[in-house]
Structure 1
Amino acid sequence: MLKMYSEVEGLILNFIGNQALFKRLYNESTCWKLLRAETSSFILAFLETLFAEKREVPMGDARAFLELEIKSMQQQGLWESETTAGSYINTWIKNGWLRSFNDQLSMTSASDEALRVAKNLNQKNTTSTASHLRIVQDAVRDLTIELNPDVSARIEALHHKKEAIQKEIVLLASGHTGALTEGQQRERIREVYSLASVLTGDFRKVEDDIRQMTRELKQQTILNDATKGSVLEDQLNREEALSATDSGSAFNGFYALICDVNRTTEFREQIKALLATPAAEFLSQDQQHYMKNLTHELAQESKRIFEIRDKANKNIKAYIASGKRSQTKAINDVLGELQKYALAFHEHTIPVKTELNLAINAGNVKVNSPATMKLKEPVMHNPDTDFIEVMSNQSLDAAVLSHITLVDAKSIAQKIFKVLSRHGAMTLAKITEHVPILHGLEEFAAFMRIAYAVQGTKLEGTELITVNQERMPSLKVTAPVYRLSSFNFPQDLNSLEL
């Protein structure tokens, strides 16, 4: 009875520990937050479609694509929110589901993992137990040989492998090909795809690790007031630790592969030959396309990792050189001192409104620019003489008024909104064909302010916009390409801050 009670008590403790673990993951996991988001199906569909062929997409293209999808769903009555595409993307970046780098948008390791989990729910019997068992058996055999300290035993095991290979050669030479069955072909090639599909996730984990390492290094320099030499040593140690992680070792392994031209060429040709076999029919078109471009995609991912590493190193160097490290430490010291006083007040139950003669050693205020000073109003010394008051003219001369043109930006915004509602989304250059600019550069500036205020989608390149002027020749202005839609505008156009 006592034994049974102790077993039940042990199960309860295990349950409590597991419950605490999953509760923490529920609250902290970025992947889990995506999967349980109210619009998770919409977000995952956006990710799967946008990054089907490219691992990086220009920010402007992503906004334009999402804007079209939202508009299509609104027309079908499937979407009621008036939130802009840009706002959605910024929110997803903030939540850790997308990453923006050099105006390029890419998935994070969390979104990649969430997408893989969701897709696996729709795939039945992608790999069989037999296929998994074969991989486990081969891995156990190879690892056992490599870990065995007995050299003679390792040599004997390698001889067994050599004999097995020789027997297979003899069978093939005698005409016994031992072709795989249709079921075995399906299992093997799907297992190959399953293993290849997680490689890009490893690269994203390396990227996340690099960013985390940069943040920790900054925090360490603040807390310890480290010297430049110690910061460099710490960074090298963290780089070494990063290489030891699973994702880091996967990256280093593939980088060694792409540095070897012969191995890369061989790997690419082997994939090409595999996709030419009848077994390739067991993969979908998207899966075959992924395998075909695997080496290219991984090479691009490797290049991106080195760019991020280089940027992280420059970021650390600039951070140390800027002096922000010492400033942040000084602020943290003052805040820490204030926290100690606050705890002491709480322990002695001192009322909040009690006046205290407390001084914090926060240093002297330094003024480096007149703009940072609050200057006193100058006191003018008036001579003791008589003044004659002259009333200023309250109206402008008609000749002056003829040269002044008032531009009503909100009126222009209403005209643009009507054009977009009637003709659909278009760029500023196209808009000016319906709402021409007649009052010079001031009106052109109003167009640009409207595009910025409604968070129009900024596309790559530039476009020419015709700016007409009164009594002067028209101008051709080169401007960035902004694509506007009626959905960018708020319901109350007067609320636009122009």
Structure 2
Amino acid sequence: MTLSTGNFAATANVHTLTRLKDDSPAWAILRSPLAPAILSILGTVFSGDRQQIEGSELVHAIDLLLTDIREQTDADLPRSAAHYLTEWVKAGWLIRRSPQGQREEIYELSMETLAALDYIQTLAAPTRTVTRSRLATLITSLQSLAADTDPDETTAIARLEEQQAALQARIDRIRERGVEAISDDEAIEKTHEVLGLLGDLPTDFARVRSDIEGIDSNLRRAVVEEELTASEVLENVFRGVDLISDSEAGRAFNGFYELLFDREQGARLDATVEAVLSRDFIDSLSPTDRTQLRHLVGGLEGSAVQVQDSMTSLSRSLRRFVQSREAAAQQALVQSITSAQQLALHVAQHLTTGRHPMDIELELSGFQPRSISTWRLHDPADYRITEEVEDHTVGDIELAAMYERIRASEIDWPELHAAVNDVRTTHPSPSIAYVLGAHPATQGLASVVGLIRLADTYGERGEGTETLPWTSAQGQRLRARFPVWRFTQELPELNTFYRPSTPTKDF
């Protein structure tokens, strides 16, 4: 949006800004009392190449950040991560999508949130705009614009000859004096200029995607409200005209996409990035700046592919919309709603009170009220038990049988601790297989699993693998290959299971 200028434009700008204050999600998030926490959380989670995140992963990440913020700041954030996530989607700060073929919803920052984050970043770390690099970029862009719009053949040839002479003079100077590279300070300044342009791209991509979705929505609305017939849309489709890609936003993005994925330009861009990263001044950049440069091409391609997939999906969806009966059904629904509204207005003009008879019978649905006299009090006797409860006499319990049942449901940790400590008296760092050789697995696989868990706590990983044997409950001898783990620590003694020698009655 561009504000008007001049004395008579002030009032118009007030109305425009007032509308933005009420409708703009970017303005709303900046004036929110929780803006520092919200922008910090969203900027942290959606950082780097993480532009789209699945719902479960996003809830987990926000929950961890909420815990840290509550403990270390005085921010009032009493609700859960899932609650805030729903609120932020409703406020327009996050976009929730349900891609076809995926089980989980995905979330991404809205264009307005990206704009708010960019504004906050300029306040937190303002960049120098009056630099030699930026002025050179401005001059070069203006010269290119003047050259590309000049239809005079003589001027064009003279300009190219001048450039040729300047290049030849530079070649001669290099041959005579060698290459004069710019200083590290100038190189860093140019790098920051590139990174500044790169930082604007996520917001630009989001804006293009929002514009494209708006075009699709407007086309569907025009078809439903019969401002544009479905046959006209179909005629364009059959003639090969893609109304979404052929829009202003679509054409602008397609030019960017084609240039980015041009093989020659892509290879040249990759080589240029590698050359820049090999320069000595790169070590003076921050790790974040180096990472952005290193992933420049991949980040651009990933974001461009997402927008291109969105354009393709919307184009196909629009075609299905006008080809199927969905458009006709939506039109019929809109006509019915409009007709009902017109009838309601007509009736309202002839009604003076709300008790005017209309000779219309309406069948009520749902709960029907009844008189209190028809209610029936609850009588607990209606649910009394008439059958006699069977009386079970006290029986005998054998502790040996109880012991076996306990061993069948739990790992005998005291037995395993004792076995490992016994073997360590003769071998300082026995492996799991060594322990099983001296003390076979009395509980089968459960004993083997228990030794593996103990080795993870009281041992260290060794080299290679070994075979762990045990006998199943059916008497089958089994074995498995597992990485070598050695017990290097003394295991604490545990109270052993009670092993009765004779049965005890009336327990």
Length-normalised TM-score, structure 2: 0.62
Q: 1:218 aligns with which of 217, 220, 224?
A: 220
Residue 192 (structure 1) shift: 1.1
Per the alignment, in what secondary structure is the counterpart of residue 198 of structure 1? helix
Does the aligned pair in 2 maintain the 1:113–1:201 contact within 8 Å?
Answer: yes
Does the aligned pair in 2 maintain the 1:217–1:234 contact within 8 Å?
Answer: no
Q: 1:264 aligns with which of 254, 263, 266?
A: 266
Q: 1:63 aligns with which of 56, 59, 64?
A: 59
Residue 144 (structure 1) shift: 0.9
Residue 310 (structure 1) shift: 3.5
- Read off the aligned partner of 1:351 and give its amino acid letter: T
Residue 335 (structure 1) shift: 3.4
Does the aligned pair in 2 maintain the 1:190–1:283 contact within 8 Å?
Answer: no
Residue 293 (structure 1) shift: 0.7
Cα distance in structure 2, aligned partners of 1:181 and 1:219: 57
Does the aligned pair in 1 maintain the 2:223–2:230 contact within 8 Å?
Answer: no
Residue 349 (structure 1) shift: 8.2
Residue 194 (structure 1) shift: 1.0
Classify 1:163/1:233 alpha carbon distance in 2 versus 1 (closer, same or farther; 3 Å).
farther
Cα distance in structure 1, aligned partners of 2:175 and 2:355: 97
Cα distance in structure 1, aligned partners of 2:386 and 2:326: 53
Cα distance in structure 1, aligned partners of 2:357 and 2:200: 61
Q: Which residue of 2 aligns with 1:465?
A: none
Cα distance in structure 1, aligned partners of 2:354 and 2:227: 36
Residue 212 (structure 1) shift: 1.2
Does the aligned pair in 2 maintain the 1:63–1:89 contact within 8 Å?
Answer: yes
Trace 1:66-465 onto structure 2 (pairs within 5 A): 66-76=62-72, 78-101=74-97, 102=99, 103-175=105-177, 177-224=179-226, 227-233=229-235, 236=241, 238-242=243-247, 244-245=248-249, 248=250, 251-281=253-283, 283-320=285-322, 323-340=325-342, 351-353=352-354, 355=356, 395=385
Cα distance in structure 1, aligned partners of 2:205 and 2:386: 68
Q: Which residue of 1 aligns with 2:31?
A: 36
Q: Which residue of 1 aligns with 2:480?
A: none
Cα distance in structure 2, aligned partners of 1:334 and 1:393: 54
Classify 1:21/1:282 alpha carbon distance in 2 versus 1 (closer, same or farther; 3 Å).
farther
- Map Cα deviations across residues 435-470 of structure 1 (whole Å, 9 max, x no partner): xxxxxxxxxxxxxxxxxxxxxxxxxxxxxxxxxxxx
* Larger RCO (CA under 8 A, 6+ residues apart): 1
- Read off the aligned partner of 1:70 and give its amino acid letter: L
- Read off the aligned partner of 1:239 and give its amino acid letter: I
Does the aligned pair in 2 maintain the 1:189–1:279 contact within 8 Å?
Answer: no
Length-normalised TM-score, structure 1: 0.63
Cα distance in structure 1, aligned partners of 2:65 and 2:271: 39
Residue 57 (structure 1) shift: 2.0
How many residues are matched?
359
Q: 2:16 aligns with which of 15, 18, 21?
A: 21
Does the aligned pair in 2 maintain the 1:280–1:288 contact within 8 Å?
Answer: yes
Cα distance in structure 2, aligned partners of 1:396 and 1:327: 61
Flag structure 2 segments of 5+ consecutive residues without an equivalent: 100-104, 367-381, 391-507
Q: Which residue of 2 aligns with 1:459?
A: none
Classify 1:178/1:127 alpha carbon distance in 2 versus 1 (closer, same or farther; 3 Å).
farther
Flag structure 1 segments of 5+ consecutive residues without an equivalent: 1-9, 360-372, 375-391, 401-498
Per the alignment, in what secondary structure is the counterpart of residue 79 of structure 2? coil
Residue 354 (structure 1) shift: 6.3
Q: Which residue of 2 aligns with 1:419?
A: none
Does the aligned pair in 2 maintain the 1:127–1:190 contact within 8 Å?
Answer: no
Cα distance in structure 2, aligned partners of 1:358 and 1:302: 62
Q: Which residue of 1 aligns with 2:466?
A: none
Compare CA radii of gyration and give the structure with the larger one.
2
Classify 1:253/1:325 alpha carbon distance in 2 versus 1 (closer, same or farther; 3 Å).
closer
Per the alignment, in what secondary structure is the counterpart of residue 238 of structure 1? coil
Does the aligned pair in 2 maintain the 1:202–1:251 contact within 8 Å?
Answer: no
Does the aligned pair in 1 maintain the 2:52–2:107 contact within 8 Å?
Answer: yes
Residue 396 (structure 1) shift: 7.7
Does the aligned pair in 1 maintain the 2:34–2:75 contact within 8 Å?
Answer: no
- Map Cα deviations across residues 234-292 of structure 1 (whole Å, 9 max, x no partner): 674632443x33xx455323422343333212212211221332333554321221121
1:48 aligns with 2:48: no
Residue 121 (structure 1) shift: 1.4
More moved, 206-215 vs 94-103: 94-103
Does the aligned pair in 1 maintain the 2:234–2:322 contact within 8 Å?
Answer: no
Does the aligned pair in 1 maintain the 2:51–2:109 contact within 8 Å?
Answer: yes
